[in-house]
């Protein structure tokens, strides 16, 4: 978390290991009002309406947008289990209940963010062409190196179809779990609006990454308060305009940054609710002056995410139904 990497050492390099599934962001869906109403009634009647189909593209899966949000008192996003952070330091156990660790063949490789009880988002470079059967996710764990949990199996890896493995453009992916997480184990982070204004916003980055440049990963998750840069400042930074695309954003603070091992983890806007606005993607070193951390800009990908998460039972921000 906060410091470490090496010139353009992206966090970590992509893994190449066999096919993974893709979704086209231009796919169209039937939005017939009657079907939407029936789906809403089903969600209200039973939680089973949020259970995903067994496989993407299965004939019995409705070709609809994600289920309409319902005002269930037990389902709200962006609620931490601790006070809001100022500065940085260790995450307290259970403080960020959406924070997850991704393992490949039992080895920690990246972070991820729970956005629904059986769906997470991460960076595509973390899972690039990796078979889902090789991946597990740890949720609700603190010291990942001492954890005895085998983790939750990933059933599908949904990579952004336009991901560029050389530039890390479109560095976002969805992980679908083979089974839903227990309700007591997690709380999802909120997803952003399409047009959230982010320049100058204070945000939190967290993960099990290195705490010093070129250092080992942390045993426990760390957090750091950073500030999101304007796009003009981001493209004018040391990387140059060609490396930072409109699908990326920059964030850092003096001596605070994401680092090696934080890849795929969340950059969260804390007000009014914890909302994942960035996904740790790449950078030059860690906390180097003039070289901020670079993140996938989540609000840019919301149209694609609505397709990729169409089988997810997502939650709404707290108090959204209060007048």
Task: Name the nearest CA neighbour of 70 among 274, 315, 275.
Answer: 315
Q: How far is CA 249 from its chain centroid?
A: 14
Handedness of CA 230, 235, 238, 244 (dihedral sign): positive
> Of residues 169, 171, 257, 262, which has the active-site annotation?
171
What are 213's two structure tokens? 């440049």
Closest among 44, 173, 43 to 119, alpha carbons compared: 173
Residues found in the chain: 323
As beta bridge partners, residue 88 has 224
**Of 119, 125, 300, 311, which residue is the catalytic one?**
125
263 carries an active-site annotation: yes
Using DSSP bridges, classify how beta strands 248-252 and 293-297 pair: parallel, antiparallel or unpaired: antiparallel
Catalytic residue among 76, 206, 263, 281: 263
- Sequence-distant (6+) residues with CB within 8 A of 25 are 160, 161, 162, 303, 304, 307
How many angstroms separate the Cα of 158 from the Cα of each of 37, 213, 304?
Answer: 28, 31, 11
Distance CA 289, CA 287 (A): 6
Residue 168's region, left for phi above 0, alpha for psi from -120 to 50, else beta, is: left
Which residues have CB under 8 Å from 252's CB, separation 6+? 226, 227, 229, 287, 292, 293
Just list the catalytic residues.
125, 171, 263
């Amino acid at each position: 978390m906060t410091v470490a990497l090496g010139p353009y050492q992206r966090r970590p390099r992509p893994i190449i290991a066999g096919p993974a599934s893709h979704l086209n962001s231009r796919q169209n869906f039937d939005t017939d009002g009657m079907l939407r109403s029936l789906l809403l009634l089903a969600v209200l009647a039973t939680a089973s309406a949020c259970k995903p189909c067994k496989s993407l593209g299965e004939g019995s899966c409705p070709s609809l947008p994600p289920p309409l949000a319902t005002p269930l008192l037990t389902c709200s996003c962006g609620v931490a289990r601790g006070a809001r952070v100022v500065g940085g330091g260790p995450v307290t156990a259970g403080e960020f209940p959406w924070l997850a660790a991704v393992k490949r063949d039992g080895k920690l490789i990246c972070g991820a963010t729970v956005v629904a009880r059986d769906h997470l988002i991460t960076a595509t470079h973390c899972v690039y062409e990796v078979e889902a059967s090789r991946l597990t996710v740890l949720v609700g764990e603190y010291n990942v190196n001492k954890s005895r949990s085998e983790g939750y199996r990933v059933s599908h890896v949904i990579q952004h179809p336009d991901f560029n493995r050389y530039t890390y453009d479109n560095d976002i992916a969805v992980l679908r779990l083979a089974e839903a997480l227990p309700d007591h184990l997690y709380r999802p982070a909120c997803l952003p609006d399409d047009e959230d204004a982010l320049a100058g916003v204070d945000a939190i980055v967290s993960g099990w990454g290195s705490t010093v440049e070129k250092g080992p990963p942390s045993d426990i998750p760390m957090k750091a308060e950073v500030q999101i840069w304007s796009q003009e400042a981001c493209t004018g930074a040391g990387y140059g305009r060609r490396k930072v695309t409109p699908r990326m954003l920059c964030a850092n603070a003096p001596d605070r940054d994401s680092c090696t091992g934080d890849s795929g983890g969340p950059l969260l806007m804390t007000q009014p609710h914890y909302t994942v606005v960035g996904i740790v993607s790449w950078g030059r070193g860690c906390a180097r002056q003039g070289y901020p951390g670079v993140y996938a800009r989540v609000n840019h990908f919301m149209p694609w995410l609505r397709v990729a998460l169409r089988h997810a039972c997502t939650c709404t921000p707290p108090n959204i139904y209060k007048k």
